[in-house]
Amino acid sequence: MLRMQPIRARETGFVLRGIDAVRAAHRWGRWRETGVAVTALIVAVISFAPWFHSMAARSHNGVDSVVTTTASAWTASTWWSVAVVLAIAGAGLWLLLDRLAQARGGPLRAWRWVSPAMAGVAAAMVGWQWWTIPPLVVAGGAWTTGGDGGDVGEIIRDHLVTYHTDGLVFEVAWGLPVGLTALSLLAAALVAGCLSVPAASTSAPDRR
């Protein structure tokens, strides 16, 4: 008499039988990959949003106006650019290792932890750069973010400053906190993927 042995899915705590275990493993694997891929895509898209901005009052031919300048992660800071690349590379590495694990029939747990570490470092880099943006230092009437020259209100890469006064503002834009949140979510998704264990495959029939 042929009788299938029950297969216990350790990560979920309930018992699955036969082909149901394989289908559940494949479904969970697709959800893991989709979650990581979508979060990495969000990070990539947000990196082109305004991460820093300035507003400067100007007068030309007796006409007053306010000029707004924005900079993305790529144009505002080398650290932020490196962080985005590092996080996306970490997600790509995780997806590659996950596919290899499925092809070989077992998890590659040790190597997988490199990916969330990369995303965590990326989030820390963005947060650290944000925390260390200094206030504007006005010297000789120059109202720029530092570096070599520049127009009033111009954002100069890697010379970010904060300043608030009538007619001139330097401040982080909405893309920075959203980007940091996306990086943190990516790191969390990678950690969750590393902690998950694929369900066991079906066992051979037991002859009794």
CATH number at residue 88: 1.20.140
At residue 98 the predicted structure's pLDDT band, cuts being 50, 70 and 90, is: confident
What percentage of residues in the chain have a pLDDT greater than 70? 66
Provide the domain count of the chain.
1
Cβ-proximal residues to 150 (8 Å cutoff; 6+ apart), any chain: 144, 156
pTM here is: 0.74
Confidence of residue 104 (pLDDT cuts 50, 70, 90): confident
Q: What is the DSSP letter of 139?
A: B
Helices (H), the chain: 18-46, 73-76, 78-104, 109-112, 114-131, 175-195
Q: Are 103 and 97 in contact, with CB atoms under 8 Å apart?
A: no
Q: What is the extent of the structural domain holding 155?
A: 2-207
Q: What is the pLDDT of residues 136-167, one digit of tens each?
A: 776 555 444 444 555 667 899 999 999 988 88
Interatomic CA distance for residues 78 and 119, integer angstroms: 17
Residue 103 has pLDDT above 70, yes or no: yes
Is a pLDDT exceeding 80 seen at residue 182? Answer: yes
Cβ atoms of 116 and 190 closer than 8 Å: yes
Between 128 and 1, the higher pLDDT residue: 128
Say how far apart CA 123 and CA 127 lie, in whole Å: 6
Name the phi and psi angles at 148, rounded to 5. Answer: -95, 100
Least confident span in 34-43, 145-154, 184-193: 145-154
H helices of 132-208, in order, are 175-195
pLDDT recorded at residue 178: 97
Q: Which residue has the tokens 């066991």?
A: 200
- Once rounded to an integer, what is the mean pLDDT over residues 26-48? 84
